[in-house]
Amino acid sequence: MIRLAYPPRCLSCGVDTAAENTLCQTCWPEAHFFSGSVCNGCGVPLEGHAEEADLCEACFSNPVPWAQGRSVGLYEGPLRRMVLGLKHGDRQDSAPHMARWMLGVGAGLITPQTVLVPVPLHWSRMLKRRYNQSVLLARALAASSTAQVLPDGLQRVRATKTQKDMTRAERFENQRSAIRPHSRRTPLIRDRPVLLIDDVMTTGATLSACTHACFTAGAASVSVLVFARVARLA
């Protein structure tokens, strides 16, 4: 009776599905998941034969400051709708399922010593949104792994502008000096491997700022795990 009243729905478009916590028959073919040999910096697929530490052209031209990066798939279609639903549509229930896919591609980045640090929001944005989607993803990952989550490991000390229409250079300038380690959490980061968690990576400007903040706190290493990846901006 419960199943009849509340049938399982697609995580992306919301139509009825045959199974729980998955995509419908229309969304599955449209979703671009990353697999096979991927870039060690951002997780996008690499063409042809690739070594474990190989980088895509974008990461080779503009090296990232973190050691390794992984992403579930391309930020378009069904995956984009899931991100927007979580971030702006109050679909907090989708976080555990998104984290499950993230763990599938990022399990190799997690050890018992790893601390999961979500990308922080400024307090003014938290008042509007009421929650940080990256914290929800990090907590869901911690619940299914051996890692510890540190929700407030980093602080956004300056309210940055919306980056939607910015160039790559403008995004990096926008994030300059905007993020720093929480002074009371520094001992929990020092000498430990950090895995930064976020929903989307575009140019990597925000994640780069977070990486530098983690190294300021004494992190032994920093890697990145995101749900979706946007093509690099010029």
pLDDT (tens digit, 9 = 90+) per residue, 141-179? 999 998 999 999 999 998 887 787 788 888 888 888 889
The count of domains in the chain is 1
> In this structure, are residues 87 and 125 in contact, taking their beta carbons and an 8 Å threshold?
no
Per-residue confidence (pLDDT) for residue 133, from 0 to 100: 96
State both tokens at 136: 């929800």
Question: For residue 53, is it within any domain?
Answer: yes
Higher per-residue pLDDT: 91 or 207: 207
Residue-number span of the structural domain to which 58 is assigned: 31-229
Question: For residue 234, is it within any domain?
Answer: no
Question: For residue 9, is it within any domain?
Answer: no
Per-residue confidence (pLDDT) for residue 210, from 0 to 100: 97
Per-residue confidence (pLDDT) for residue 225, from 0 to 100: 98
Residue 5 has pLDDT above 60, yes or no: no
Helix (H) or strand (E) holding 103: helix 95-106
At position 42, the amino acid (one-letter code) is C
> Does the CA dihedral 12-16-22-25 come out positive or negative?
negative
Helix intervals (H) in 149-234: 168-174, 186-189, 205-216
Question: For residue 8, is it within any domain?
Answer: no
At position 133, the amino acid (one-letter code) is Q
Residue 3 has pLDDT above 80, yes or no: no
Query: pLDDT per residue over 197-217, tens digit each?
Result: 999 999 899 999 999 999 999
Higher per-residue pLDDT: 162 or 184: 184
Largest CA distance in the chain: 57
Question: For residue 15, is it within any domain?
Answer: no
Query: pLDDT per residue over 17-74, tens digit each?
Result: 877 788 998 999 999 999 889 999 999 999 866 666 789 888 888 899 999 999 999 9
Per-residue confidence (pLDDT) for residue 233, from 0 to 100: 47
Query: Which band of pLDDT confidence, cut at 50, 70 and 90, is reported for residue 234?
Result: very low
Cβ-based neighbours of 37, under 8 Å, separated by 6 or more: 45, 46, 49, 50, 54
CATH of the domain at 146: 3.40.50
Question: For residue 78, is it within any domain?
Answer: yes
Question: For residue 45, is it within any domain?
Answer: yes
Report which of 182, 178, 177, 176 is spatially closest to residue 154, judged by C-alpha positions: 182
pTM of structure: 0.91
Question: For residue 3, is it within any domain?
Answer: no
